[in-house]
Amino acid sequence: QVQLVQSGAEVKKPGASVKVSCKASGNTFISYDINWVRQATGQGHEWMGWMNPNSGNTGYARKFQGRVTMTRNTSISTAYMELSSLRSEDTAVYYCATGATDAFAIWGQGTMVTVSS
Amino acid sequence: SYELTQPPSVSVSPGQTARITCSGDALPKQYAYWYQQKPGQAPVQVIYKDSERPSGIPERFSGSSSGTTVTLTISGVQAEDEADYYCQSADSSGTYVFGTGTKVTVL
């Protein structure tokens, strides 16, 4: 079964960008969409968007359109989520997720992104 | 925007049954999914498509649906079941939405 391993924690200043990676094990990387979700401390989950690793097609939640970009490198089975114009409210744990039967069957371990001056 | 509403907390004694509800207007037309999340860990799916249980999830976890409400039931609760539980579904446009979350405390 596929496993997702994410990049390490990041600390960024307001106005900067952050790029989080999500590497999939096995040979199924291009088979299922990759979704990104974030969770601020003590808060619920917020879906950010999806990417099809085979075609590169993407769909972003309205809240993040214009600020988020999802890409992939199929040669290394890795998906990326880049968020720009960071502000303190973007401080959160960012997760990638995927699955054969549904969008969030399997989750990465999460990446903490802290936005602070 | 579309919301999925859950009770903030549920308390249950070991061996008893915990029921967690999730309400949303689009639930009659969209599947619901349930996730368990322990502190500092990623969510783990415990129910998919309203009532299906993923491989490796104990049989004490079950799901049901009735109209605009879906329910996660944990029968014979164990101490290890203490966690936050979230429902998830989609609105009419296909945008994914997560519930507000329920903290299950095992007394």
Euclidean distance between CA atoms B74 and A18, whole angstroms? 39
- Other beta carbons within 10 angstroms of residue A48's beta carbon come to 22
Among B33, B54, B101, select the one facing A44 at the smallest CB separation.
B101
| Dihedral sign from CA coordinates of A96, A99, A102, A104 | negative
- Two structure tokens written together for B81: 């079941």
Asked if B24 reaches chain A (Cβ–Cβ under 8 Å), the answer is no
Mutate to test the interface with A, among B41, B84, B87, B96 (most CBs of A within 10 A): B96
DSSP secondary structure letter of residue A25: P
pLDDT score at B94:
84
- Two structure tokens written together for B71: 């329910």
A95·B49 Cβ contact <8 A? no
Q: Which residues of A touch B (CB under 8 A)?
A: 35, 37, 44-47, 61-62, 95, 99, 101-110
Q: In angstroms, what is the C-alpha Rg of chain B? A: 13
The pLDDT tens digits for A22-62 are 999 977 787 899 999 999 998 899 999 999 999 999 999 99
pLDDT score at A26:
75
User: What type of residue is A4?
Assistant: L
pLDDT per residue of chain B (107 residues) written in tens, 0 to 9:
899 999 999 999 999 999 999 999 999 999 999 999 999 999 999 999 999 999 999 999 999 999 999 999 999 999 999 999 999 999 988 899 999 999 999 99
Asked if B12 reaches chain A (Cβ–Cβ under 8 Å), the answer is no
Q: Which of A34, A25, A46, A21 is nearest to A110 (CA)?
A: A21
